[in-house]
Chain A
């Protein structure tokens, strides 16, 4: 105590200011009161539900009438007797077993993967292109930015209503456009056939079943999400570009680099952290695609996930299982499996791309 007092000579050892300054450095027990409101809400509605989800996923029956799967004789009977005493334990995971053995689950996974692959890379790629164009000290940058971001602000249900109408087979804009450029009109949202199959048909080529590609219905929904999320990517990339030190470009130009070289050697590496952020956010977001699929299917008056399951993503499957079939346990098992996939993909991205992103 004595020597600390000597190192701070201007303040009198016993002055009230010093006492208070010391009190600010002490343990602030009242901090827990500051934390309490947020922590209580987050614990009840975000942390406990994760554990609760595991518990619910082991239940049969409806929300008001749960039965533990482990206590179900049929579920136990399904497990081979060789497991002995473990049979009761393994039977708890019957819902997972069912999901993993259900063709509809794997179809939904495939649809979701098509959806993610069909939306995330094109949106990011064109997002960078548009951001780079806007970055070129172009006139009216603010106006373009406002317009490109607008779809992201408008509620999904409202814009899905419009887009379902754009894709209307009878008098939709999309078919007007197809006629304008001399292509055959399409069924869009109600077309369960794969896009490559449809292209093959119009070119009179037989396309093998594995190469049919995502259904045109799903592609229509992808076009919608591209429209909706492009502006978000543009804004973030534009901010990332603006953050790059202008002197680097100056130095590059003095060294005689042309536009493409500047982009390749300065812009891209320095944009990597932004790119990584957008990639992670977009993958997580599109794995959970639901709202627009819900609204657009309702607009064309077909069951959620139609036509014949062509737009049934995992989220849609989960919602249908809960809402229409009232099987909360099974739906939660699907949600847990989906979350594991999302988590694994996020960790893979962090492991293989994150380091490069941070190093730049």
Chain B
């Protein structure tokens, strides 16, 4: 090092500064492109209608009242009345809350379902011996090639034909004199049950379970553990990354689903937030500031979740890409 020309070192340093400066410039430009729509949305949600449609970039005053107004419009021009005597009533009277509650409920059922069915099936595929194992697995993998578009309408037709369990029970046992068989359209059954198992999760879990060393199995056998016990206390704790990835992706997919809930719901009370928001576009009409307020409100929960769990989101997606 001592014999090296000092000018050369300076030149190299200057060059590396220039390169990293250039990289940052490009990346910052990209980041601005990514973030600008969000800023534009929040600014728009705080303007008056005239400002939003004609004037410049910033609102002259912050019009926070757009938010409650958006809630009222979303509620078909009714106030969200809170009744202290019957607090749960708010979910029936306030559609925005109802949409959120529906979305969270549907997402939770999907996550719990996908984890339970996926873990059990993946364990069977990864660790158990039974006739037809490889054949069934290959058939499942082949279904990954089926586009969602193809099964959409048949599933919708199934929903029209399936009777809901509660209406079948009510009719069979004459619980209600006018009980009738109802189909799955406009029920939580249609919104949740078809999505409580995915091939993708089974595949992901199986890959993970296969990496767990055989010695652990042997040790568990020596200790006299059953398969369920071993699955619960050894396999699952070791597979946390796969479980979290699958849970997040399932929740995100459920949160963002649009075409299915659009097809199978009729009444506002059954809508998840995506469909509610799509309906709100029509309700709010040209009132852009209200649309921006509505959109802002719906993205806040998922944004907070993302910022807290972003490491899991990013690493989950990355690991899926590498494994795929």
Residues of A at under 8 Å CB distance from B?
16-17, 20-21, 24-32, 34-35, 37-39, 41-42, 44-50, 52-53, 56, 63-64, 130, 133-134, 136, 138-139, 144-151, 153-159, 161-163, 165-166, 168, 170-171, 173, 227, 230-232, 235-236, 238-240, 243, 274, 277-278, 281, 284, 287-288, 290-291, 294-295, 298-299, 301, 315, 318-319, 322-323, 328, 331-332, 335-336, 338-339, 342-343, 346
Flag if B274 contacts A37 (CB, 8 Å).
no
Flag if A162 contacts B199 (CB, 8 Å).
no
Closest to A338 in B: B149
Instruction: A48-B154, A155-B256, A277-B321 given; name 12 further pairs at CB < 8 Å.
Output: A21-B218, A26-B129, A31-B129, A32-B130, A34-B120, A63-B160, A130-B30, A133-B26, A151-B37, A156-B274, A227-B37, A323-B262
Flag if B27 contacts A42 (CB, 8 Å).
no
Flag if A147 contacts B153 (CB, 8 Å).
no
Chain B residues numbered 207-234 whose CB sits less than 8 Å from any CB in chain A? 217-218, 221-222, 224, 227
> Can you offer 27 A-B residue contacts whose CB atoms are under 8 A?
A21-B222, A29-B130, A34-B124, A35-B124, A41-B113, A47-B143, A136-B20, A138-B24, A144-B30, A148-B30, A150-B34, A150-B35, A150-B303, A153-B303, A155-B256, A155-B274, A156-B256, A157-B278, A162-B292, A162-B295, A227-B37, A290-B259, A298-B282, A319-B259, A322-B153, A322-B263, A331-B153
Name the residue among B38, B54, B197, B227 with the largest chain A CB count within 10 angstroms: B197
Flag if B321 contacts A53 (CB, 8 Å).
no
Interface 0/1 of B155-169, CB less than 8 Å to A: 111101000000000
Flag if A156 contacts B258 (CB, 8 Å).
yes
Measured in the bound complex, the distance between the Cα atoms of B321 and A331 in whole Å is 33
Partner of A166, one of B40, B139, B255, B258: B40
Interface 0/1 of B29-43, CB less than 8 Å to A: 011011111101100
Number of residues of chain B lying within 8 A (CB) of chain A: 99
Flag if A37 contacts B120 (CB, 8 Å).
yes
Chain B residues lying within 8 Å of A138, measured Cβ to Cβ, are 20, 23-24, 27
Flag if B299 contacts A158 (CB, 8 Å).
yes
Flag if A161 contacts B295 (CB, 8 Å).
yes
> Shortest beta-carbon distance, B118 to chain A, in Å?
7
Flag if A328 contacts B157 (CB, 8 Å).
yes
Flag if B40 contacts A165 (CB, 8 Å).
yes
Measured in the bound complex, the distance between the Cα atoms of B52 and A279 in whole Å is 39
Measured in the bound complex, the distance between the Cα atoms of B217 and A153 in whole Å is 38
Chain A residues lying within 8 Å of B23, measured Cβ to Cβ, are 133, 136, 138
Contacts A46-B151, A162-B292, A165-B288; A28 near B146 (Cβ below 8 A): no
Measured in the bound complex, the distance between the Cα atoms of B292 and A259 in whole Å is 45
Measured in the bound complex, the distance between the Cα atoms of B25 and A144 in whole Å is 12
Flag if B258 contacts A50 (CB, 8 Å).
no
Partner of B150, one of A17, A155, A158, A339: A339
Chain B residues lying within 8 Å of A34, measured Cβ to Cβ, are 120-121, 123-124, 128
